[in-house]
């Protein structure tokens, strides 16, 4: 349409009419023509900037909205929009700056406080996020997005009660809020609230007929109920597109696990392979298995040649008692041990927190990644590095009345650096048949990182197992480690004897509460590890010797595991 004979107002009205019809391309065309003649027109800059945001052209959107903000710096909506767009661009400082501008313009704005809460949440500032979300609800208790965001935040920090409260409020306000259904169903599933899970699923099926996401949750419930044929039937009739690869991963994993339970082992292995292939293809973080192997090899090289007598020993001790670590190769039963131990009234367990990762990061900076610098020690440095670890640990637990156990299986790799500054540290080593261990790693849907990238096929899993256990043997030969080994198989076959010996190692008496550990797990809230579905039930022996069903598929890893199978008397 030629606008030469039309005035500006008619052009703007025509553009708005196209927006109302969702004809964004036509509206964009009109606004671009307006801006050629009227570059400082507020409506054209603001509305075209908003259209670009909807089309995910965020850089262009920012350019236009920033110009609109210069033209009219008193409109809260501009800064609300800019805050969210900068957040999506990863510029959190700019996001924060604009959200605060919006609130300055309208201190009673529920929308602005919600946006600021979301930005603080993304910055990891939980208290500030909750404060602003609360203000948002103070000004508008029925703000659907704020209730939903609070549900997400409380779910993330494992506050099941509040997460449930705000998701339910979201659904009360908007019974068709699919994302709230998804997240609340996931909450009930992962916190093992199975009756609520079932009830909400029935409600969601009424509201969303033939919805693949709801079908996936239905399959998850059937899996819990051990109705594996139903799981396969439901999931083979649906598939998720590329924009929902996370759900497709869950679908493939559930089919694979169900076939395993049904005794269809070739089909099971096939679907696990498909799942791992998809995980590798869709990895956005560039996980590199070789980086973690180099971390192990570097330590093998250094510590195998170490003469411990050359280390300067600083004998002065501080007020803190050296920590206790639960370690082992992944899928060796550490989550089960975690759940058993935390059932004891005198024990608190840190479940896979980055305490040692931060400690190692700090240490490497101090020694410039040069292991030879570990030889030297003085009181101030030792005190600094010890205090740093305890400060990290206290972020998650500072209950001085309990023994704190730091559980992260692959901390086994860093034992040398741990005992350098915590010579009286205790280690609980979890062992499991190497074949079962690496098979379970291959079958488990880990969040992909450099370490977990080794578990996408059997051969790489076995190679990593071999290196990790070689390193552990070196540590045992070089240091007088205070450790206790517990085999998964012994734990299953002789629960009381195995746990009693472990408690003696920890200088603790027997407690009958550990025998009902699965009841404790039901009270734990959201269990963060992949084993959340298993630790809420009494002991079972199905997973012992599972590898025998996959003998042919495990051949590629045989050469790396034979020595360890003999060594650990399997």
For residue 304, the domain's CATH number is 3.40.50.300
β-bridge mates for residue 326, sequence order: 407, 428
Give the whole-angstrom CA distance, residue 438 versus residue 433: 9
| Per-residue pLDDT at 375 exceeds 60 | yes
User: Is the residue at 474 inside a domain?
Assistant: yes
Average model confidence (pLDDT) across the chain:
92
- Whether 237 and 263 have beta carbons less than 8 Å apart is answered as no
User: What count of other Cβ atoms lies within 10 Å of the Cβ of residue 215?
Assistant: 17
307 inside domain: yes
The rounded percent of the chain whose pLDDT value lies above 90 is 79
pLDDT tier for residue 98 given thresholds of 50, 70 and 90: very high
Rounded to 5°, angle at Cα 56 from 50 and 61: 40
Residue where the block lists tokens 């298993």: 534
Residue 533 has pLDDT above 80, yes or no: no
pLDDT category of residue 519 using cuts at 50, 70 and 90: confident
> Distance between CA atoms of 570 and 490, rounded to whole angstroms?
12
> Cα separation of 286 and 284, whole Å?
6
- Alpha-carbon distance 388 to 400, whole Å? 17
Least confident of 10-14, 113-117, 295-299: 10-14
In a domain, 324, yes or no: yes
pLDDT tens track for 219-261: 999 999 999 999 999 999 998 988 899 999 999 999 999 999 9
Given a cut of 70, is residue 392 above it in pLDDT? yes
Least confident of 92-96, 162-166, 326-330, 449-453: 92-96
Domain range for residue 556?
292-567
Question: pLDDT tens digits, residue range 287-332?
Answer: 999 999 999 999 999 999 999 988 877 666 666 789 999 999 999 9
**E strand or H helix that includes residue 393:** helix 379-394
Rounded to whole angstroms, the Cα distance separating 502 from 486 reads 8
Provide the pLDDT for residue 2.
45
pTM metric for this prediction: 0.81
The pLDDT confidence band at residue 526, using thresholds 50, 70 and 90, is low
Structural domain includes residue 502 = yes
Q: Does residue 82 carry a pLDDT above 70?
A: yes
Contact between 459 and 556 (Cβ < 8 Å): yes
- Any domain includes 196: no
Q: Is the pLDDT of residue 67 over 90?
A: yes
Within a domain: 432:
yes
- The band of 516, judged by pLDDT with boundaries at 50, 70 and 90, is confident
Q: How confident is the model at residue 481 (pLDDT cuts 50, 70, 90)?
A: very high
More confident residue, 528 or 148: 148
* C-alpha dihedral sign at 521, 522, 523, 529: positive
Spacing of C-alpha 526 from chain mean position: 11
Q: What is the largest CA-CA distance in the chain?
A: 93
Give a yes or no: residue 83 inside a domain.
no
Answer for the pair 212, 240: CB distance below 8 angstroms, yes or no.
yes
Residue 265 has pLDDT above 70, yes or no: yes
Tell me what percent of the residues of the chain surpass a pLDDT of 70: 94
Q: Is residue 417 part of a domain?
A: yes
Q: Say how many domains are in the chain.
A: 1
> What phi, psi does 334 have (nearest 5°)?
-70, -35
- pLDDT tens sequence across 285-295: 899 999 999 99
């Amino acid at each position: 349409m030629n606008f030469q004979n039309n005035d500006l107002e008619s052009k703007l009205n025509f553009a708005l009419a196209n927006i109302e019809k969702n004809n964004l391309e036509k509206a964009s065309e009109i606004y671009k023509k307006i801006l050629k003649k009227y570059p400082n027109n507020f409506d054209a800059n603001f509305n075209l900037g908003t259209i670009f945001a909807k089309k995910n052209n965020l850089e262009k959107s920012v350019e236009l909205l920033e110009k609109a903000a210069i033209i009219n710096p008193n409109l809260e909506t501009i800064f609300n929009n800019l805050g969210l767009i900068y957040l999506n661009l990863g510029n959190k400082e700019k996001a924060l700056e604009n959200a605060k501008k919006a609130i300055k313009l309208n201190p009673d704005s529920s929308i602005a406080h919600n946006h600021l809460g979301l930005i603080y949440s993304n910055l990891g500032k939980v208290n500030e996020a909750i404060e602003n979300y609360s203000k948002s609800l103070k000004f508008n208790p029925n703000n659907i997005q704020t209730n939903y965001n609070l549900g997400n935040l409380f779910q993330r920090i494992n506050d099941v009660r509040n997460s449930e409260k705000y998701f339910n409020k979201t659904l009360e306000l908007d019974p068709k809020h699919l994302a709230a259904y998804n997240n609340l169903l996931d909450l009930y599933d992962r916190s093992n609230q199975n009756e609520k899970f079932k009830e909400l699923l029935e409600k969601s099926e009424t509201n969303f007929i033939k919805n693949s996401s709801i079908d996936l949750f239905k399959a998850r419930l059937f899996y819990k109920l051990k109705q594996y044929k139903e799981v396969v039937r439901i999931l083979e009739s649906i598939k998720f597109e590329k924009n929902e690869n996370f759900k497709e991963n869950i679908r493939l994993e559930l089919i694979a696990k169900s076939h395993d339970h049904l005794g269809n082992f070739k089909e099971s292995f096939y679907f696990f392979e498909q799942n791992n292939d998809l995980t590798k293809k869709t990895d956005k973080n560039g996980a590199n298995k070789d980086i973690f192997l180099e971390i192990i090899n570097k330590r093998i090289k250094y510590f195998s040649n170490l003469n411990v007598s050359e280390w300067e020993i600083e004998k002065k001790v501080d007020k803190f008692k050296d920590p206790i670590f639960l370690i082992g190769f992944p899928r060796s039963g550490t989550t089960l041990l975690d759940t058993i131990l935390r059932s004891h009234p005198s024990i608190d367990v840190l479940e896979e927190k980055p305490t040692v990762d931060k400690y190692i990061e700090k240490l490497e900076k101090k020694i410039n990644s040069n292991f030879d610098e570990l030889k030297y020690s003085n009181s101030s440095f030792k005190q600094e590095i010890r205090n740093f670890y305890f400060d990290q640990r206290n972020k998650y637990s500072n209950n001085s009345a309990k023994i704190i156990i730091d559980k992260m299986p692959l901390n086994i790799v860093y034992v040398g650096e741990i005992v350098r500054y915590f010579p009286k540290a205790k280690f609980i080593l979890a062992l499991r048949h190497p074949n079962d261990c690496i098979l379970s790693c291959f079958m488990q849907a880990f969040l992909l990182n450099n370490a977990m990238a080794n578990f996408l096929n059997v051969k790489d899993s076995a190679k990593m197992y071999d290196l990790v256990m070689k390193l552990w043997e070196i540590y045992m030969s070089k240091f007088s480690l205070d450790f206790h080994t517990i085999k998964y198989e012994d734990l299953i076959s002789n629960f009381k004897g195995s746990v009693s010996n472990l408690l003696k190692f920890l200088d603790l008496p027997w407690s009958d509460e550990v025998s009902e550990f699965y009841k404790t797990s039901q009270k734990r809230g959201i269990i963060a590890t992949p084993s959340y579905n298993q630790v809420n039930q009494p002991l079972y022996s199905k997973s012992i010797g599972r590898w025998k069903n996959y003998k042919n598929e495990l051949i590629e890893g045989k050469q790396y595991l034979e020595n360890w199978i003999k060594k650990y008397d399997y």
